[in-house]
A and B are shown apart, each in its own frame.
Chain A
Amino acid sequence: MTVLSCSGLKRRFDDVLAVDDVSFTIAEGETYGLLGPNGAGKTTTISMITGVLERDAGEVFVDGVAMSTHTIAAKRLVGYVPQELALYPDLTGRENLRFFANLYGAGRRRVEFVLDVVGLTERADDLAREYSGGMKRRLNVAIGLLHEPRLLVLDEPTAGVDPQSRNQILENVRALAAQGMAILYTTHYMEEAERLCDRVGVIDSGRLIAEGTRRELVERLGERDRISLQLDGDLTHAASLLGAIRDVRGVAPHGHGLELVVDDARECLPAVLSAISTNGVVVRSVEVTEPNLETVFLHLTGKALRE
C-alpha cells in the first residue's frame, strides 16, 4: 500500500529552480533513501512533503490525503525529523516532547513511550543543552515519533553523532519500518543508505535522475564487479587463462598484475584462483571491488556524496 505519493513537485526561489518535477512513491514499511550532493534539492523536497514549504506545482498525498487541500489532516500523518537540532536547549527533554506533543495532539503517555524508545528516560528531566550530541539527535528523532505517523521523514538524522547513538537511531528506524511505517531518509553516509534503504532516489540539480534498488541502479549503469590481482609470473599467459573463464567479461593489465571485470566476484573468485595456481603463476594479493551506491552516485552526478 502506498503511503507517500508525490508527483511533479516543483519549487523556484527567485531565479533558481530548486526542485524540478520530482515524483516518487513510498510504500508501507518501505525505507526510501533520497541521496544527492549539497544543494541538490533534498531539503526543499522534504519541506514540500512535510507541508512546511508551499509548492509551485505538483501534489503530495500521504495515505491518500492531499497536502494541498487537506493540509492539517495530511500533516497529522507525517513525522518530521529535520537536519538541524530543532528543539529548545533551555527546556528539558521531557518538556520539549510535551510541547510538541501538544502541537501534535499526542498524550503524555506517548511522551514517556518515545523517551523509552530513544533511550532517554533517565535523562528526561535534564536540560536539552546538557545532552551530548548523540542524545540531542535522539531527542530530535523522538519528537518526530510522538504522534505515531504513517510517514517518517528523516533529514540526515545521524549527522555528527557518536557511533553508539548512530546505531541506536538506525535500529529505531529499522524497527519502525518493520512495524509498517513508511520512511523517507536522507543521509550523507552511503553505508547507512545501503544498510537501511529498500530503494534509493538520486537527486541532482533539483531533478530526480535515478531511482530503484541498489542492484537495479548498479545494473542500469552497466557497472560490474572487479577483481584486481597482483601476480608473479607470465602475465600474458595468465591473462589468456583467465579470459577463458565463463563469468569473466574482460581482462586488463593493472600494475604488476591484472584486473578482471566479472559478473559476480564472489561466485567467480574460486575459479579464478584455481586457474592461476595450477599454471605456475604466484598470487601476491587479491582485491575485490563491488560497485556500490557511492560508485552509482559518482557515475550519475559526477560528484562524491559529501561534496
Chain B
Amino acid sequence: MKVLSIGWVNVRRVVRDRTGLFFLVALPLMLVFILGAAFGGATTPVVGVVGDAGALSADDAVRVRNFPDEPALRSAVEHGEVSAGLVRTDDNAPRLLVRADRTGQQLRMLVTTSLTREANRIAAGEFVAAQTGLDRDTALSLVDSAGVEPVEVRVSTTGEALFPAGYSGFDLGAANQLIVFTFLNSLTTAAFLVETRSLGVTRRMLATPTRARTVVAGEALGRVSIALLQGLIVLVGSALLFGVRWGDPLGAASLLCAFALVSGGAGLLLGSICRTQQQTTGAGILLGLSLAAFGGCMVPLEFFSPLLRKVAFATPHGWANDGFAALTRRGGDLLTVAPHLAVLLGFAAVLFSLGAWTLRRAVTR
C-alpha cells in the first residue's frame, strides 16, 4: 500500500507538469506522424486533373482533385500539393505533369495504364459498332460485358524484403518513438526523484513508520509506471490515430513491459546518482539520444555495419528495436521475442539493483 502510494505520487507529479506532459504525449505522437508522413505513410497519392478524369475517378489507387486550368494545375504540381497532373481537353491529346519523386513516378504508371485501358475500350467499342451497326453506347456495354480469360503470371520472390508489403512509415516510426521516448522521458523525469531527495521529502518518509526498502521500492515503482505510461501513450495513440500495427499483442505488451522496466531502472539509477535536477535532465537527454542512435532508433539496424550492429545489441534499445521489428515486420510472436525479453529483463535487473542500492545509500547516509 505504501509502495503504491509513493509510486502514485511520482506519476501524479509528472502528469501535473504541463511542460512534461507535452514531451510525454504530444511530442512522441507528433514525431510518429511527421516521420510516418515523410518516409511514406499509407496515404493515397493525389492526381490533379483539368477536364474529365475518366476512369481515374473510379480507381481506388489514386485520389482525383479537379483544377480549373492548366496554370493552376502546374503550380499545384510544382508546389507538391499533388504528385501529378493530367490535362485532358477535347482539342489536344492528354498531357501528364509529374513530380520527379517516387510518388510522381508511381502516378505516371497508374495514369498511363488507366488512359491506355480507357482508349482500348473506346477503340473496341467503335470496332463493334462499325461491324454490327449497333449504336456506340450499346457497343461499349457489349465490350464491357465481354469476359477475357486472364493471362496467368507466375511470380517468384527472391531474398527477404526489408519491410513487408503494407508496412508504412508510421509502423516504423512508432516503434522507434516508443523506444526513444520511453527511455528518454524516464531519464529526464528522474529529476523529480532528485528534487524529492533535495527537498528532504525522502528523509521525511524515512522518519515515518516506513522501511527504507519500501521507500526505495515506491520510488522504483514510480519510475516504471512513468515509463509504462509513456510506452502505452505511443502504442495506443499511434494505433488509434495512424493505424499502426504492432503485431502479436502479447508479444508487444511483453516487450513494452520489459522495456519499461529497463527504462524505470535507468531512471532510478540516474535519479540516485545525480545531485541536481539540471544534471539529471542534461545527462538524461545525452544518454537517451545516444543510446537511441546506437540502438537503431534513428536508422534501421539493417543499415548498420557489422561492428555497429554489435554495438547496437550491447544496448537495451537494440534488443527492444529488434524485438518490435520481429513482431511487426517478420510476423513473430511471444516465443520469437523470448530472447529479447530475457536480455531486457537482465538489463532491468542490473539497473534496478544498482539504482536501489545507490538510492538507499544516498538517503540513509
- Where the two chains meet, the residues of A that have a C-beta atom closer than 8 Å to any C-beta of B are 47, 50-54, 72-73, 75-76, 78, 80, 82-91, 95, 99-100, 102-105, 143
B199 touches A52 (CB 8 A): no
5 residue pairs of the A-B complex, CB under 8 angstroms, read A72-B211, A84-B200, A85-B199, A86-B204, A95-B12
When distances are taken between beta carbons in the complex, the residues of chain A under 8 Å from B210 are: 72, 75, 103
Q: A99-B5, A102-B2, A103-B5 are in contact. Are A88 and B201 (CB under 8 A)?
A: yes
Q: Which residues of B contact A82 (CB under 8 A)?
A: 200, 203-204, 207
A68 shortest CB reach to chain B, Å = 14
Chain B min CB distance to A119 (Å): 21
Bound CA span A91–B8, Å: 12
Residue pair A53, B204 in contact (C-beta under 8 Å)? no
Instruction: Give the complex CA separation of A72 and B196 in angstroms.
Output: 22
> Which residues of B have CB within 8 Å of A84?
199-200
The count of residues in chain B whose C-beta lies closer than 8 Å to any C-beta of chain A is 22
Residues of B within 8 A of A (CB): 1-2, 5, 9, 12-13, 16-17, 196, 199-201, 203-211, 364
Beyond A91-B12, A104-B209, 18 extra complex contacts between A and B, CB < 8 Å? A51-B206, A52-B207, A54-B364, A72-B210, A73-B209, A75-B210, A78-B207, A80-B204, A82-B200, A84-B199, A86-B201, A88-B199, A90-B17, A91-B13, A91-B16, A100-B204, A100-B208, A102-B2
Is there contact, CB below 8 Å, between B12 and A103? no
Please report the C-alpha to C-alpha distance between residue A193 and residue B2 in the assembled complex, in whole angstroms: 36
Q: How far apart sit A61 and B77, CA to CA, in the bound complex (Å)?
A: 85
Given A86-B199, A86-B203, check contact A91 B209 (CB 8 Å): no
Write the chain B residue with the least CB distance to A127. Answer: B16
C-alpha gap A262/B17 in the complex (Å): 65
Interface centre among A82, A84, A86 (most CB of B within 10 A): A86
Give Cα distance in the complex from A85 to B204, angstroms.
10
Q: Provide the residues of chain A in CB contact with B5, threshold 8 Å.
A: 99, 102-103
What residues of B have a CB within 8 angstroms of the CB of A83 in the complex? 200
CB neighbours of B12 from chain A (8 A): 91, 95
Chain B residues whose C-beta falls within 8 Å of the C-beta of A54 in the assembled complex: 364
Q: Is the Cβ of A75 less than 8 Å from the Cβ of B208? A: yes
Residue of B nearest to A146 (CB): B208
